A and B are shown apart, each in its own frame.
Chain A
Amino acid sequence: MENKIKVLLIEDEKEVLELYNLKLTLDEYDVITAENGSEGLEKSFKENPDLIFLDIKMPGMDGFEVLKKLRSDERTKHIPVIILSNFDEQDMIEKGLTLGANEYLIKSQFSPEDISTKVKDFLEK
């Protein structure tokens, strides 16, 4: 339990959050969830996760703003961030990657299984 990989899910869609939480927990990851941007940022600093899944469309602070803050803070700039969004516009993808996301995934194209595999792939690198 103590050496579990810690994954932070920042996602305002309750159903989506629950789905990923369920799968990653089943796959024995230590999952932390945040339902909006500022909560996600706070938990990033406090919990020092190994990987962050970040949604874009969120009330208050959106995903891009969270990413900017993560990348400009010494505590979090090294943490891999995977954007999980249902926006597939090219300019959104480019913006996410430019701001320092390690990957940009379209939610509807990835099953919970794929997401879990992504975590494994990322942390084995």
Chain B
Amino acid sequence: MKNGKKIRNELKRSRQELEKKIVKRTADLFKANKSLKTSEKKYSTLVEKSNDGIVIIQDGLLKFVNPAVTKFTGFSKDEAINKSFINFVSPKYKGLVIERYKKRLLGEKVPNKYEIEIISKNGKNVSVEVNASIITHEGKWADMAILRETTERKETEKILEEERKKMEAIYNTASEGLALYDAEGRVIDFNPSLRKLFGLKKEIKNVKRKEIAGNREQYFKYLLERFDDSLKTQKEVYSGKTVSNVLMKIHSNPPKYLEGTYVPIINDKKVQGMLASFRDVTTLKNQAEEIAQQLIEVEKQRNRWEAVFENVEEGVFVIDGDNMLSRMNGSCELMTGFEEREVVGKPYYQIFGCHDTQGNKFPEFHPIDKVYKTNSAIPYDEHLHRNQEGNEIWVGVSYTPILSDNGVIEQVVGVIRDITAIKQTEKAKSEFVSVASHELRTPLTVIHGYLSLLLNGDLGDMRSDISRINYINALNKIYGETKRLTKLVEELLNISRIEERRLKLYTRKSILAIAIDEVISEFKPLAESKGLHLEFIYDKKLDGTYVLIDRDKFKQVLVNLLDNAIKYTEKGNVTIKSIAKNGEILTQVSDTGTGIPTGLKNKVFEKFQQVGVSYLKENKGTGLGLYIVKAIVELHKGRIWCDSQINIGTTFTFTLPIVA
């Protein structure tokens, strides 16, 4: 019994243990199943989400494709499954793929990573990188391939290759000479142009730049002259700086100029080498030199013109197209009274205020307007301008436009000459002619008039007393006017002689007092008839002194002065006084007459100047007397002047040198 119980207990324990085991196993299995499920899910998610295409091929047919495949081929899952995979491979790669597929299935060793092209739904080739491996699929051997699309990478590679080729072409054909140096300054490479530009005659590849610089004659056909410190340049570049505009000269025939640029090649913040490029700047340099030469010439020319511009007697100014003055020379400054800096940038008509002879002023009239209107020059014209002081000046002008290529006036150059003096002389001449003819006509009128009366018998037949008186009166008038005419003609002839410097003196050593006394005695009756006291005061010191005079002409001086003194004096005295002073005899002719206004004192010696505003209002007389007097006194080496006070009297003083 004891054993039975033992066995029963044993069995019971075994069963319990078995149950425990079963429970545990079941739990384990369940657990395993669950974990398997999780893992499957994990892998399937991976497959579904993968960017790489995943295909499973069994018996030559596609058994599985993931969405990524659909994405880069365009075929749907249904269009792909159970189709022969080889149909999707581009013809170019079919052979290769079939061969490798077969070998792999036979267990032969083939590369499991390679590139092929597959055909997408729209017929394009898509490059893919294939990573194939053998798996079991549904209990059978199958080929699983992971496809990674490489089209983009291929294209990038293609572009890079093209770029490289392009760069190479540029490098080889560029006219610039290019040289590449390593970190030690050794030439790694250079292009054909460099050889040509420098005229290389020895290989420089792998030669240090320093070595070439030290033995240039060995490397270069022609002498190379550099205008920089070659090694210093190198040092700078290797310190990371770009050095450009390095000029060098190749002494070939003709010489060549090169310009170099040195660029450091920096990688990882370290200078790994240097790229040097050289271009032929001979033409540029020659052009620059030519231009520089031309500029020097232009400058010289400009200086010459500037000298002419500043020193010509004519006033020269330049007006810009917008009517503004841009230049004015010194003569122009003198004429206008403006300084150049004051007028530059101002409208010309403000500075050259101008009017025509009718008094028209800008804007109705300005001679420069005509240039602008007609686009042509004014060769010569005369105008009245007003200077800064407000004085009118006569100018002879010529205006020349400077036209642009399309005929627009860019500048006007004005050349002006002050002809005021000439104009005044002209005016004086024409006035002289006018006044002289008037003066000549007056006695002629009277002579002609009386003669016609006599001839017409207007004055009777001399039988009556009245007739006789009229006759004699007429003859007296004719005689008087003839004398007047003669005197006038003489004066005019004298004027003409004076002006042509033909008035000659016939001098004799004379005692002045005798000459003066002679004239005074002639004037006594005239003075007495006006009730004037005529007196001659003679300095005793003058006894024994002589003067050198032309008696006739000296008489003319005194006659004129006394004539005037008596004419302009109504009462009082006319005095002549001679005194000795500083080796000269001063003779004064003084009156107590109307006097001469201050402003006219010096003008009395000018032609046709009498005391009056205008000749029209003048007193009788030709106005030539004092002009002639002055000329005669000066011919005698003397001087004459005039002192006068209104309503008190006038004194004319003249001098004559005393002779031994």
Contacts and interface: CB of A to CB of B under 8 A. Distances in A.
Interface of A: 12-13, 15-16, 18-20, 22-23, 26, 56-64, 85-89, 106-108, 111-113
Contacts of A108: 441-442, 444-445, 448
B429 to A, nearest CB: 13
Q: Which 5 A-B pairs have the closest CB atoms?
A: A86-B441, A111-B452, A108-B441, A62-B616, A19-B449
B612 interface: yes
A56 B105 CA distance: 148
Given A19-B450, A87-B434, A112-B452, A13 B617 contact: no
B445 A107 contact: yes
Contacts of A26: 458
Contacts of B205: none
Which of B444, B450, B477, B617 gathers the greatest number of chain A CB atoms within 10 Å? Answer: B617
A76 B453 CA distance: 32
A60 B481 contact: no
Which of B446, B470, B614 gathers the greatest number of chain A CB atoms within 10 Å? Answer: B446
Given A57-B618, A111-B449, A112-B452, A13 B458 contact: no
B438 interface: yes
A56 B616 contact: yes
A70 B445 CA distance: 26
Interface of B: 434, 437-438, 441-446, 448-450, 452-453, 456, 458, 470, 477, 480-481, 612, 614-620
B438 A113 contact: no
Contacts of B481: 15
Contact of A112 (B453, B480, B615): B453
Contact of B442 (A22, A86, A89): A86
B441 A13 contact: no
B617 A19 contact: no
5 contacts: A57-B438, A61-B617, A111-B449, A111-B452, A112-B449
A22 B445 CA distance: 14
A16 B477 CA distance: 10
A82 B441 CA distance: 18
Contacts of B456: 113
Given A26-B458, A58-B616, A111 B446 contact: no
Contacts of B453: 19, 22-23, 112-113
A88 B480 contact: no
Given A13-B442, A87-B434, A107-B442, 13 more contacts: A15-B446, A16-B442, A16-B449, A18-B477, A20-B449, A22-B453, A26-B458, A59-B612, A63-B616, A86-B445, A87-B438, A112-B449, A112-B453
A60 B441 contact: no
B458 A23 contact: yes
A26 B459 CA distance: 9
A57 B615 contact: yes
Contacts of A64: 616
A112 B454 CA distance: 11
Contact of A88 (B437, B612, B620): B437
Contact of B434 (A58, A63, A89, A106): A89
B451 to A, nearest CB: 9
A106 B441 CA distance: 9
B442 A19 contact: no
Nearest to B434: A89
B618 A86 contact: no
Nearest to A20: B449
A24 to B, nearest CB: 11
B617 A62 contact: yes
Contact of B438 (A16, A20, A86): A86
Nearest to A107: B445
Contacts, number: 76
Which secondary structure characterizes the binding site on chain B?
A: helix
A22 B446 CA distance: 12
Given A23-B458, A86-B438, A106-B441, A58 B449 contact: no
B616 A15 contact: no
B375 to A, nearest CB: 35
A20 B612 CA distance: 27
Contacts of A107: 441-442, 445
A35 B470 CA distance: 22
A20 to B, nearest CB: 8
A88 to B, nearest CB: 7
A22 B614 CA distance: 30
A61 B619 CA distance: 12
A95 to B, nearest CB: 11
Contacts of B458: 23, 26, 112-113
Contacts of A85: 438
Contacts of A20: 449
Contacts of A62: 614, 616-617
Given A59-B617, A107-B445, A15 B477 contact: yes
B627 to A, nearest CB: 19
Contact of A111 (B448, B618, B619): B448
Contacts of A13: 442, 446, 620
B617 A60 contact: yes
A13 B445 CA distance: 11
A26 B445 CA distance: 19
Given A22-B453, A59-B612, A62-B617, A15 B434 contact: no
Which of B444, B458, B612 gathers the greatest number of chain A CB atoms within 10 Å? Answer: B458
Contacts of B619: 59
Nearest to B484: A15
Nearest to B438: A86
Contacts of A89: 434
Nearest to B480: A15
Contacts of B477: 15, 18-19
Nearest to A19: B449
A3 to B, nearest CB: 23
Nearest to A91: B434
Contacts of A86: 437-438, 441-442, 445
Nearest to B444: A108
A12 B480 CA distance: 17
A23 B448 CA distance: 13
A87 B615 CA distance: 12
B419 to A, nearest CB: 21
A20 B453 CA distance: 10
B483 to A, nearest CB: 12
Contacts of B615: 57
Nearest to A17: B446
A86 B438 CA distance: 5
A12 B443 CA distance: 13
B434 to A, nearest CB: 6
Nearest to B430: A89
A73 to B, nearest CB: 21
A15 to B, nearest CB: 5
Contacts of A19: 445-446, 449-450, 453, 477
Nearest to B433: A89
